[in-house]
Amino acid sequence: MKHGKKYVDGAKLIDRTKLYDTTEALELCVKTGSAKFDESVEVHVKLGVDSRHADQQVRGAIVLPNGTGKSVRVVAICKGENEKAAQAAGAEYVGAEDLVQKIQNEGWVDFDVLITTPDMMGLVGRLGKVLGPRGLMPNPKAGTVTPDIGKAVTEAKAGKIEYRLDKTNIIHCVIGKVSFGAEKLQANFDALLEAIIKAKPAAAKGQYIKSCVVASTMGPGVKINPSKFAQ
């Protein structure tokens, strides 16, 4: 695969054989994120679990202390007092049957997060085929099916992210933008890793965090030493 000059120049700053400390790795991320737009910074964590087993799933959500730097469009499907709470918290779209029909019939997914209340899951459950493949299906573990919809909308707007294993036992998350600088990125990184370590399944055996890589959108990956994390 042929890379552009900026990527090649950035890659020269990184020793591919070295496992970096988190601080140094994030500083390199900021240095190598030199695209004309404000690149996102991503974390990829490979875990020593087998996601095929129900008792080894790792999933949850966390509000990053410095947010993600991204404006989040929120849909709230709810009724009555909950509608007012969702609107007051800043949800872009609030409704019930009307929004469910729009998603179901038109395939409308022009939003980033869908939050609902437990009593609406009978309705929202029908949207699995549309929302599931896009990772938008609400889930109690992620805090997107909740009786306190106002709080959930506020958290989503503040930069709450969901972490979950993919089929290859890797968690992929955005922890901010290059413009944040290494210090703010470090606070977000530490919060995410702490949450992942707390979510360690009892059935997990051996080394839990196998590897960890950080990278800006267009930049090369920087490997972090996994032995530095309390596991």
The CATH T-level fold of domain 74-158 is Rossmann fold (3.40.50)
> Could you tell me where in the chain the CATH 3.40.50.790 domains are found?
74-158
**Lowest mean pLDDT across 7-21, 80-94, 104-118:** 7-21
> Could you tell me where in the chain the CATH 3.30.190.20 domains are found?
5-67+160-228
pLDDT digit string, tens, across residues 63-78: 999 999 988 999 999 9
pLDDT digit string, tens, across residues 22-31: 999 999 888 8
Q: Considering the chain, what is the average pLDDT of its residues? A: 90
Nearest to 47 by CA among 187, 223, 199, 189: 199
Helices and strands counted in the chain (H then E): 8, 9
pLDDT digit string, tens, across residues 214-223: 999 888 899 9
pTM value > 0.85: no
What CA–CA distance (Å, rounded) separates 14 from 30? 12
Residue 230 has pLDDT above 70, yes or no: no
Burial of 48 (0-12, 13-18, 19+ CB in 10 A): middle
Report the CATH superfamily, name and number, of domain 5-67+160-228: Ribosomal protein L1/L10, rRNA-binding domain (3.30.190.20)
